[in-house]
Amino acid sequence: MLKHLSINNYAIIDALDIDFSGGMNIITGETGAGKSIIVGALNLILGARADTNALVNKEQKCIIEGVFDTKDQKDIDLFLKANDLDEQGQLFIRREITTAGKTRAFVNDTPVNLSQLHELSEKLVDLHQQFDTLSLSDSQFQVNVIDALADTQAKLSAYRADFIKWKQTLKQLSALELQQQQFEKESDYNQFQLDELATLDLKENELETIDAELKTLTHAEEIKSTLNSVYAELSEGEQPLTQQLKRLTNLLSSYNRYHSGLPDITDRLRSAQIELDDIASDLERLNDSVQYDAEKIEQLNERMSAGYRLQKKHGVQSTNELLEIQKQLEEKLQAVLNIDDQINQLKKEAAISKEKVLTAGAQISQQRSKQLPAFEKKVNQMLAQVGMPNARLKVSATSQEPAPNGMDQIEFLFDANKSGQFKPVSKVASGGELSRLMLCIKSLVAEKMDMPTLIFDEIDSGISGEAAKQVGLIMKSLAANRQIICITHQPQIAGKADAHFFVYKELKKEQVKTNIRRLNDDERISAIAKMLGGENPTAAALENAREMVAG
């Protein structure tokens, strides 16, 4: 409920404060006095885009603040918690337009963006945001009305969860099937490449090892000749080095006892002799192992050539890189098999989700369908009540493929003159007819949708007399359980007010400014009498006004 509205430096308003009642608040005043400016200011704290041209005094910023009583409104508490905003029992919303034309919004003194402010406002003043006359032709609005009356919210929430899951599964399935097609295009070539590598059956570092072995084999004769020569110098011939070292070691050892430095040298010579003996033995073994083998050289050259061809083909330089490519090809081919399993699994999941969607959608459709006759009857009765006895509303509900709102295409059709020609409301209803039709619909859905504040900006356009009286009665009935704020030119409606505010212009420092005041009982009677009979109301008009206020 909106308790207080403060407006500073907005359009032709210098400073204005309004304390609203919790019931029916009526705002009246002459045309052009600034009633719509007040609604425009209220719109700003509800998340509307700001018009910087509204900042008349460019030296001061515009500040609009609303104070809302949100006690026992759990959805507001949840919003505040979800957005890390302070909970204070009362809700303070402030909108500022700076002298530079920039706007800022605050909730309980914490900055918020317009998206957050708009989301919050829908929980505070739902009808003002969602149920204006323009939305009558909006398919989402029409579905929302029927759902509110049919109480489908819980089922619709579950349906939407299943619908989203189904669509996500279908999207994943489509992506996998596209991937499968790509895999299949590449599969034959990948298999050919893998077969080449698998046939060669390379081992880790094999080509590098073959390269080293070929170098040995192709130089086998030179290597053997050199090994024989060195071996002969060490162990054979007339004076082999190992024998000379042995002789020299024995010669020195005979004098070890005469000089302390000789035993160490003798041991070193003996070690050198032993090392040379070992080297000679290794040379002999190497010589035995080195054999020229033309057939093996040819085999290794062929394998080497095959390996080099694959290296060049794949743009790599080593055996291990070829083995990594082989592994990747195996994984790609395995993925083709795996993706088939994934596709089959997703098809099963999609079928299950679709069945849930169809089942839930059918239940929602049935629930909506049951509500339509009663809705049409009640609206048509109320249309007669508000001065449109020949008008009829008809709801068209046709089946459609599953969509986020269910499986029904709902459309409000209207016939203003019992012509039997029902057409979409936006195409055949006048502004006044749309306003009264919207009021009838509002009164039916208000209880179901738990709307704390309803705002009517001249919804009584085009009516008078008994019709205006009936509109006033409907609003008064609505105000029994929620706050109503209504701008009106109709005395029959103004007479139903719990709080009557009068908007007027006054001259301040040679400038015209808008102001507002709450009328007492006598002032109310006078204002309503002027609405009935002009600036100088007759005694009959005053008496009529008293009856309206008293009734």
- Residue 33, pLDDT above cutoff 60: yes
Mean pLDDT, residues 206-219 taken together: 81
- Residue 370, pLDDT above cutoff 60: yes
Which of 344, 349, 311 is closest to 169 using CA atoms? 349
- Residue 505, pLDDT above cutoff 60: yes
User: Do 525 and 542 touch, CB atoms closer than 8 A?
Assistant: yes
Each residue's pLDDT tens digit, 110-121? 999 988 888 888
298-306 contacts at long range (C-beta below 8 A, 24 or more positions apart): 300/210, 300/213, 300/214, 300/217, 301/214, 303/200, 303/210, 304/207, 304/210, 304/211, 304/214, 306/200
Q: Which of 192-201, 260-269, 362-371, 523-532 has the highest mean pLDDT?
A: 362-371
Q: How far apart are CA 320 and CA 327, in angstroms?
A: 10
Strands of the 2-10 sheet, one edge to the other: 13-19, 2-10, 62-69, 90-97, 103-107, 110-112
Q: How far apart are CA 52 and CA 501, in angstroms?
A: 27
Q: How far apart are CA 499 and CA 29, in angstroms?
A: 14
Question: How confident is the model at residue 341, as a pLDDT?
Answer: 84
Q: How far apart are CA 192 and CA 209, in angstroms?
A: 26
Q: Which residues contact 453 (CB under 8 A, 6 or more apart)?
A: 1, 2, 124, 125, 127, 128, 482, 483, 484, 485
Per-residue pLDDT band at 134 (split at 50, 70, 90): low
CA distances from 336 to 189, 285, 348, 450 (A): 13, 54, 19, 55
Each residue's pLDDT tens digit, 225-252? 787 788 777 888 677 888 888 888 888 8
Three-class SS of residue 13? strand
Output the average pLDDT for the chain.
85
Q: How far apart are CA 439 and CA 197, in angstroms?
A: 79
CA angle 472, 477, 478 (to 5 degrees): 100
- Residue 407's H or E segment, with its range, is strand 406-415
Fold of 1-125+453-519: Rossmann fold (3.40.50)
Q: How far apart are CA 146 and CA 445, in angstroms?
A: 9
- Residue 130, pLDDT above cutoff 60: no
Q: Which residues contact 259 (CB under 8 A, 6 or more apart)?
A: none
User: Do 503 and 33 touch, CB atoms closer than 8 A?
Assistant: yes
Per-residue pLDDT band at 128 (split at 50, 70, 90): very low
User: Do 105 and 43 touch, CB atoms closer than 8 A?
Assistant: no
- Residue 371, pLDDT above cutoff 90: yes
User: Do 444 and 421 touch, CB atoms closer than 8 A?
Assistant: no
Per-residue pLDDT band at 450 (split at 50, 70, 90): low
Question: How confident is the model at residue 148, as a pLDDT?
Answer: 87
- Residue 539, pLDDT above cutoff 60: yes
Q: Which of 47-56, 97-106, 443-452 has the highest mean pLDDT?
A: 97-106
Question: How confident is the model at residue 298, as a pLDDT?
Answer: 81
User: Do 393 and 437 touch, CB atoms closer than 8 A?
Assistant: yes
Q: How far apart are CA 158 and CA 143, in angstroms?
A: 17
Task: Give residue for tokens 């402030």.
Answer: 94
Per-residue pLDDT band at 129 (split at 50, 70, 90): very low
Question: Residue 390 gets which letter from DSSP?
Answer: T
Q: Both tokens of residue 129? A: 């945001």
- Report the percent of the chain where pLDDT is more than 90: 26
Mean pLDDT, residues 59-86 taken together: 86
- Residue 131, pLDDT above cutoff 50: no
Buried b / exposed e along 12-34 (16+ C-beta atoms within 10 A): bbbebebebbbbbbbbbbeeebb
Q: Count the Cβ atoms, other than its own, within 10 Å of residue 282.
A: 12
Mean pLDDT, residues 272-299 taken together: 80
User: Do 133 and 438 touch, CB atoms closer than 8 A?
Assistant: yes
Question: How confident is the model at residue 228, as a pLDDT?
Answer: 79
Mean pLDDT, residues 402-427 taken together: 90
Dihedral angle over CA of 467, 468, 474, 476, nearest 10: -150
Q: Taken in order 169, 171, 174, 180, is the CA torsion positive or negative?
A: negative
Q: Which residues contact 258 (CB under 8 A, 6 or more apart)?
A: none
**What are the extents of the domains in the chain?**
1-125+453-519, 206-317
User: Do 90 and 57 touch, CB atoms closer than 8 A?
Assistant: no
User: DSSP for 257-284?
Assistant: GG-TTHHHHHHHHHHHHHHHHHHHHHHH
Q: How far apart are CA 360 and CA 156, in angstroms?
A: 8
- Residue 377, pLDDT above cutoff 60: yes
Which of 521, 505, 520, 517 is closest to 17 using CA atoms? 517
Q: How far apart are CA 527 and CA 482, in angstroms?
A: 25
Each residue's pLDDT tens digit, 73-97? 788 888 888 888 887 778 999 999 8
Question: How confident is the model at residue 261, as a pLDDT?
Answer: 86
Q: How far apart are CA 247 and CA 299, in angstroms?
A: 50
Q: Both tokens of residue 342? A: 């994934």
Beta bridge partners of 409: 398
Q: How far apart are CA 424 and CA 170, in angstroms?
A: 35
Question: How confident is the model at residue 372, as a pLDDT?
Answer: 95
173-181 contacts at long range (C-beta below 8 A, 24 or more positions apart): 173/343, 173/346, 173/347, 173/350, 176/339, 176/342, 176/343, 176/346, 177/343, 179/339, 180/336, 180/339, 180/340, 180/343
